[in-house]
Amino acid sequence: NAGVTQTPKFQVLKTGQSMTLQCAQDMNHEYMSWYRQDPGMGLRLIHYSVGAGITDQGEVPNGYNVSRSTTEDFPLRLLSAAPSQTSVYFCASSSTSGRGSNNEQFFGPGTRLTVL
């Protein structure tokens, strides 16, 4: 299993440009999420999905869109990039098999995004 994969690893954008951060998992996990990591602020939840066709907002959703057409993929779209979106982005997935499960979230390697 490759686990959670993210592409690209690095990206530089100009203000106003759009792009999509890709995330895929091969563990058949129902739950997937996107976090951003900024110095001194830990990881903050952007959007999440509990299954194909279902998405919801997290703590910091503004400026980002998501969709979940398949169990495996959960892309994050920046419609009009702003310097405030300079960050490291992590995708994560976990099983929703219930309270007796491990509940471990598996994180991808991250995408480092710079918006000029």
Partner 1 sequence: QQQVKQSPQSLIVQKGGISIINCAYENTAFDYFPWYQQFPGKGPALLIAIRPDVSEKKEGRFTISFNKSAKQFSLHIMDSQPGDSATYFCAASLGYGQNFVFGPGTRLSVLP
Q: In the chain, which ranges are E strands? A: 4-7, 10-13, 19-25, 31-37, 43-51, 54-57, 64-66, 76-78, 87-94, 106-107, 111-115
Residue 84 phi/psi, 5° resolution?
Answer: -65, -10
Instruction: Pick the binder of partner 1 from 21, 46, 87, 110 (CB under 8 A).
Output: 110
Count of residues engaged in binding partner 1, rule: CB under 8 A:
29
Q: Answer yes or no whether residue 26 interacts with partner 1 by CB under 8 A.
A: no
Task: Give, for 59, the enclosing helix (H) or strand (E).
Answer: none
Q: Answer yes or no whether residue 2 interacts with partner 1 by CB under 8 A.
A: no
Instruction: Pick the binder of partner 1 from 48, 64, 78, 115 (CB under 8 A).
Output: 48
Instruction: Pick the binder of partner 1 from 46, 81, 90, 113 (CB under 8 A).
Output: 90
Segment near partner 1 (CB under 8 A); pick from 11-19, 45-53, 61-69, 77-85: 45-53
Segment near partner 1 (CB under 8 A); pick from 14-22, 34-42, 65-73, 76-84: 34-42
* Residue 52 near residue 67, CB atoms below 8 Å: no
Binding site for partner 1 (CB under 8 A): 4, 31, 33, 35, 40-45, 48, 50, 58-59, 90, 92, 94, 96, 98-99, 101-105, 107-110
